[in-house]
Each structure stands twice: as C-alpha cells, then as structure tokens.
Amino acid sequence: MSLRSPISSSESIVGAFLLLATLWGTSFVAIEAGLHYFPPLLFAGVRYAVAGAVVLGFAVLVSDRFVPRGRDEWLGVAVAGTFVIAAYHGLLYVGELYVSGAVAAVIVSLSPVLTATFAAALLPGERLGPVEVGGFALGILGVVVIADPVASGFGGSALLGVALAFAGAVAFSLGAVLLRPLRTDLPVAALQGWAMVLGAGQLFVGAGLLGESPGAIVWNATAVASLTYLTLLSGVVAFLIYFALLDTVGPAQLHLVGYAEPVVAAVGSWALLGQLIEAEAVLGFVAILAGFLALERHEIAAYVGVSGDADSLLR
C-alpha cells in the first residue's frame, strides 16, 4: 500500500487543509508553553526524534517500501530534513523565546508569499513579473510593520525573535519548493520519517553547539502535555497530512494553510495563555495576505470557478 498521495477528492482536500491549520496553529501555543521548561533546540530535537521513530515504524508496517533509493530520494530526505524540519523548527523555537506564539504564527504566514516567490524563481513554468515582485514586497512590508520597534513597542529582543521566525519561514518555503521536483514514488510516510530523524539529529548537534543540556529540562504536567501534543498531533499527524497535500496540490497552494494558522494561534494564545495579539501584528498579517493574493491571483481566480472535481485543483 502506497501512501504517496492519499488525498484526492475536493472534500478531503478542504478537510485536510482545515485540520492541518488547526494542528499547526495550536502548535505555536504549545511551543510557547513548553519553552518554559525545555531548551529550544533540544525541545525540537526530542519532538522530532520521537515523531520520526513513530512515523518510520508506521511506514514499515503499511508501505510497500520504506528505504529511499537513488540520488533523488536521498536528496529529497536531506532537503526535507534540513530545511523543513531542522532549520525551520530550530529558528522558530529560538524565536519564540522572544515573541509570542501568535506573533510567530503571523510571521510564518509569510511562507506562502516566499513559496510563490521561490517557485517562480526556481521551478520551470513559473514566472516572476512586476506584479509578483510587488506581492513579495507587500509581504516583506508586513513583516517590517510587525518588527518595527517604534510602531509596535517591541524591544530589541522581540526584534530578534521576529528575525528568527522570518528566517525559519524562509527555510520552510525554500525546502517545500526544492522538494517538489525530487518527489518519486517513495511513500510519504517514509519520506517524513527519514526527514524527521535526520532533522532531529541536526537539531541535537545544534543544541550541543549552543551548550543546551538535558539537565535543564523541567519535567512537569505542562512540559509532558506540550511535548506529547507537538510530537504526536502537530508532528506525526500534521506532517503526514502536509506531505500528502504537497504531492496533491503543490507548494504554493498548500501554503494557503498558513493564513488560517495565525487565527488559530491567536485564539489559542488568548484562551490558554491570556494573551491578545497586537494591532501591528494584525496590520502586518493583512499586508502579507495582500502580497499572497497578488502573487497567486491566477490560481485563486481559477479556484473561484472550480466546482467538484479535485483534479481541476491541480496545476
């Protein structure tokens, strides 16, 4: 049984998008809560070491093969592990030491703009014209609005957090685009599992270089709940959905999910942590969304005219 692309109908695509947005949106809040008790890179590394082992075990049980073959498949594992797992999460976790999970989610919502820009620059058949450049500039403007220490009242440490979250979004988006031409019939669970294990190893190396120690972990109910949620739900389940959708709709359309994540994160931060998102972050999000609408205007227009067949959602 191959798990390369189990999502095919329009209803399942919409449902998968909503579930992925919920799992990843709430993960920003879970990370923020867990960082009170874990060093950041060690936190991310433990999360993906456990998740990778679970997913690889799942791949062994249900997939027709689980070991990559050839240059493209191993290179795909390396791209996903390095960019989507290690770089993105390492930068995000460290960034959330300085900004709230809701603000980090807004910064990461720039991923669709970055993905469309990278796709236009790197993938055959894509183009980057004046409107696309303008859309990218709008997205960057949104980040600047959020990061402005005068307009938003942020201090220097929060500015660093914004920069780290932005760098994480760059890594995530670049990885999604670089992975697209490397996809073969390697089942998605196998790709995800190997990428998680590789990314976890890189995160552990980074933790060692930064002097993070397992002795600094404080084990309590909140720490266990945060790690469990991030590992099993927003780790194992969400990334299975993510890679399946990546095969089905492509990187640019997939990152539409990024616009639901800040809403989920803001609600979760308010409900669980009592935090409200700043007005500047809302304005920045609007600018980022406007940038994406400019970049993906043709695809969005096509979606409006779509009725029924999921194949018409594919490029």
Mean pLDDT of 112-138: 75
Instruction: Compare 166 and 273 and report the one with higher pLDDT.
Output: 166
pLDDT over 70, % of the chain: 76
- Which is more confidently placed, 128 or 135? 135
Say what the pLDDT of residue 306 is: 47
167 within a domain of the structure (yes/no): yes
Whole-angstrom distance between the N-terminal and C-terminal Cα of the chain?
Answer: 26
- Flag whether 247 is in a domain: yes
Average pLDDT for the chain: 80
CA–CA separation, 160 and 151 (whole Å): 16
- Cα distances (Å, whole numbers) of residue 291 to 85, 120, 186, 266, 294: 26, 14, 34, 21, 5
Pick the more confident residue, 212 or 277. Answer: 212
User: What average pLDDT does this structure show over 51-74?
Assistant: 89
- Exposure string of 282-292, with b = 16+ CB inside 10 Å and e = fewer, is ebbbebbbbbb
pLDDT at 30 over 50: yes
Per-residue confidence (pLDDT) for residue 195, from 0 to 100: 95
pLDDT recorded at residue 309? 41
The more confident residue out of 279 and 107 is 107
Task: State the pLDDT at residue 155.
Answer: 56
Determine the pLDDT at residue 255: 60
User: Is the overall model pTM greater than 0.75, yes or no?
Assistant: yes
**Which of the two residues, 180 and 242, has the higher pLDDT score?**
180
Condensed to tens digits (0 to 9), the pLDDT of residues 244-256 reads: 787 677 655 666 6
What pLDDT does 33 receive? 92
Residue type at 171? Answer: A
Examine residue 5 and state whether it is found in any structural domain, yes or no. no
Question: Alpha-carbon Rg of the chain, whole angstroms?
Answer: 19
pLDDT band for position 162 (cuts 50, 70, 90): confident
> What percentage of the chain has pLDDT greater than the value 90?
34
Whether 315 is in a domain gets the answer no
Q: How many domains does the chain have?
A: 1
Range of the domain at 86: 10-310
Flag whether 287 is in a domain: yes
In a domain, 2, yes or no: no
Say which amino acid occupies 314.
L
